[in-house]
Structure 1
Amino acid sequence: MSLFGPKRPLSKDEWEWQLASFKWLLAEFGGIERNPTNVLVLPTAEYFPPTSGEPAEKAQQIFDQVRTLSGMAEWPTRLLAGEASKEANIASGISLVHENHAPAGEFLVKNGPTGEQLAEIRYNPRHLANPESLIATFAHELSHYLMANAKSDPPGGWDIHELTTDLTAVYLGFGIFMANSAWNFEGHSSFDQQGWQYERQGYLTERGLVTAIAIWETLAGRDPMAAAPFLKPHLAKDLKKATAYVHKNAVAQEIAEYDLEQY
């Protein structure tokens, strides 16, 4: 800690936007008193038991668990596999997989077989090999579904709703998955091939997401540092700094004083 205390983890504008957005989420969908099942979801078997080895069944089982943990188990949905990311061969024996081939997920409102409205959610099948990214995708798309029921515009308006959607996934308890999946780079090699895979998933930055964890877990009356053992090491360090700043600055009171009509 410096002489002047912990440093604000985000720019002034992003910090104020996060506080205003959490106030909006609380006003629209309530806090822990209204959603007592809200928890910090961990990447453990307690929250995600072993699944089927068959791809479609595996995806459906993970999706159903994310819905349950989000308190949305009864909301009408349909899960479909979308387009998979493809490798780009940039030279003989060298491949590159990047983020631009196919989206991680998609959310659409459709009519069901009897005319009722439901959410159609599509996922990138490549993410079946990375359950943490798949869970982050499902949390993000279900956050779209929740936000579609809002009675007012989010801070910043619907033009930046994807940023608010990431924040909503943290509000639903999936901050660890969102932060760990925000940026991935992997290399692989074999006797005849080498390659790299990089992916930017979601819309908030890694630091923005761990700051959101620090804010929301504090508002929920939980210790944000409970997330640290499950985060990538550099994110755990960022979480510690963000938590120190949140605790020093009485964030709950600051949020309570926000006037959303003035934001």
Structure 2
Amino acid sequence: MLALFKSAPLLEQQEQQWLIDTFIWAVENFDAEFFTKHTQIILPTGQYFPDSVSSIEQMATSVFKRVTTYAGMSAWPIQLVAPQQLQPQVFPRFEFSSVIRGERCELIVPPSHAINISFNPNQINQPQDLVASFAGTLATIMIHHVGVLPPGGKDFLPQAADALACFLGFGVMMSNTVYQFKGGCGSCYNPYANREAQLSETHTVFMHALVCYFKKDNVSKKHLKPHLRSQFKKAQKEIKALVSESANPLLLAYAPN
């Protein structure tokens, strides 16, 4: 009878395992040292985005620079251009000296051209969407450069980019922007400002909780949307149990003492 009151897991076992495998893939391919020593859980606060701006372009440039820095990708040949300047482009070939992220990241094979990315002007009034969109784009570029497919293969590249953006430290904004409620004022809702999420809210929250577990973060939960906090708390509990039962040496190595 007690089994009747046992709560269902947040995700199916196969879905949980894909997210855990994707975390392992991220650690193995996207600079584990930077993740361990430098990755922060970025919050939607003035502490992380303190710049004052007076135009759409300044807003986009300021947020782009901050996101690129937090991701450890300031040395990457990526430049922000206005939406009307964005054209189809071929991904350039380039190489780094040793690490691919952080202050020691250095190009040894300069690209023939920079990677141009742009922004959605509609997101200027939804800065969390702007941050999440930039983080997802940087994650996609990183995957393209490294060239190692995620668990599940190429069909899972879009989902893996969202998961990798959480790994880069942007899980709060990624979780908060999966779905935007219309709210009580129809004129305030702009569907064109929403980012195109590839993971559900629950999957994104679980991935964020997984990253927070290994980064020993207990602060970011209060910056999630209220209805996501209970999911995050449940994910934390399930992740702790999953890791404690795991025989994977990488997970055990990263687990908090």
Question: TM-score, length-normalised on structure 1?
Answer: 0.77
Which of these residues, 182, 189, 193, is aligned with residue 186 of structure 1?
182
CA drift of 1:219 comes to 2.4
Name the counterpart of 1:49: 50
Q: How big is the alpha-carbon RMSD for the aligned residues of Structure 1 and Structure 2?
A: 3.0
Contact kept? 2:175, 2:201, Cα under 8 Å: yes
Name the counterpart of 1:66: 67
Distance 1:52 1:196 in 2: 23
Name the counterpart of 2:171: 175
CA drift of 1:78 comes to 1.7
Report the secondary structure of 2:141's partner residue. Answer: helix
Contact kept? 1:133, 1:177, Cα under 8 Å: yes
Which of these residues, 228, 241, 251, is aligned with residue 235 of structure 1?
228
Distance 2:134 2:18 in 1: 24
Which of these residues, 215, 219, 234, is aligned with residue 226 of structure 1?
219
Contact kept? 1:179, 1:210, Cα under 8 Å: yes
Contact kept? 2:158, 2:198, Cα under 8 Å: yes
Name the counterpart of 1:250: 243
Which of these residues, 101, 123, 127, is aligned with residue 123 of structure 2?
127
Question: TM-score, length-normalised on structure 2?
Answer: 0.78
CA drift of 1:82 comes to 2.9
The amino acid of 2:23's aligned partner reads: F
C-alpha change, 1:253 and 1:12, in structure 2 (3 Å) is closer
Query: In proportion to residue count, which structure has more helix?
Result: 2
Contact kept? 1:78, 1:120, Cα under 8 Å: yes
Contact kept? 2:128, 2:173, Cα under 8 Å: yes
Distance 2:64 2:189 in 1: 28
Contact kept? 1:24, 1:155, Cα under 8 Å: yes
1:149 paired with 2:149, answer: no
Q: Percent identity?
A: 27
Contiguous gaps of at least 5 residues in structure 1: 84-104, 259-263
Contact kept? 1:41, 1:176, Cα under 8 Å: yes
C-alpha change, 1:13 and 1:175, in structure 2 (3 Å) is same
CA drift of 1:108 comes to 5.5
The amino acid of 2:205's aligned partner reads: V
The amino acid of 1:52's aligned partner reads: V
1:26 paired with 2:27, answer: yes
CA drift of 1:251 comes to 5.9
Residue-pair matches, total: 230
Contiguous gaps of at least 5 residues in structure 2: 94-109, 252-257
* Deviation >6 Å, runs of 4+: 2-6
